[in-house]
Amino acid sequence: MITSKKLSSKIGIYSLLLVGVILSIGPFYWMVVGSTIQSGQIFHFPPKLLPGGNLVKNFQSLNESLGIVKIFWNSLFIALVYTFVCTFISAMGGYAFAKFRFKGKNLLFFIILCSVMIPSQVTLIPLFEMMVSFNWLNTYQAIILPSLASPFAIYLMRQNMQAVPDSIIEASRVDGAGELKIFFSVVLPVTRPAMAAVSIFLFMSQWNSLLWPLITLNSKEMFTLPVALSSLIGMARIDYGQLMLGTTLSTIPIIIFFLVLQKQFISGILGGSVKE
């Protein structure tokens, strides 16, 4: 039987959780509502809490202003290609640092860790000069290639791959498996949770990237979503309906990507864990 003391304690806990949910979801709900109403109604008091009927008009205006379909494709293509290639490179680098012995390994890994502490703004001018010399300005490769070797991702993969038992790798070598087969058939299935976490981090960082695409992209047809949305904020007039709708559209791929990898993350923990 639940006593009054336990009941009041549970009510207090659930009340705090409810407040936390409202504070967390509230801004996203307001963003969705704002994308369906007129710009002038955004700051209306009392605020509108129910969706309006201006969604189609806002989308048409947004598409006329930016060409949102092309821009959405630019961001999606860049983020997916970057995430896939960078995750693969990080997994190979982490495997090399975790399971291979070679001269200068610790020094090289120390240099990689030190590079994390270098502010990205310091490298903007050298990277921009490289892109100019390669004639890569306003191209996909200018956004994708410079940051393919992520020090943080390599470090995270290396720490997880150290937990892979050496005995399994040695047994695979004795059975005649090559290093690539061991990497793809033995190591990667075990480290799926780490790869899912790295993929989420890389996708979000590239999807939300603003400064580097803003520097290297100079035509509206090549803009990514953050760059395009920043162009909606003008000195004279800001259409908040368009801005809210564009921001809403920009959050959808992140949510979908996370939900897809969350399922893979759970299955990786249950089916791919190995203990020595």
**Maximum separation of any 2 CA atoms in the chain, in Å:** 76
Contact 212, 143 (CB under 8 A): yes
Residue of 39, 38, 35, 15 whose CA lies nearest to 27: 35
Task: Reply yes or no on whether the pLDDT at 102 is more than 70.
Answer: yes
Report all structural domains of the chain as residue ranges with CATH numbers, in order of start.
32-271 (1.10.3720.10)
How many angstroms separate the CA atoms of 172 and 186, rounded?
8
pLDDT digit string (tens) for 115-174?
888 888 888 999 999 999 999 999 999 999 998 989 989 998 898 888 888 888 888 888
- pLDDT exceeds cutoff 50 at 269: no
- When pLDDT is cut at 50, 70 and 90, the band that residue 261 belongs to is confident
DSSP assignment, residue 248?
Answer: H
Q: Please tell me which residue, 176 or 271, carries the higher pLDDT value.
A: 176
Taking residues 44-51, what's their average pLDDT?
A: 80
Give the separation between CA 222 and CA 216, rounded to whole angstroms.
10
| Span 173-196, average pLDDT | 86
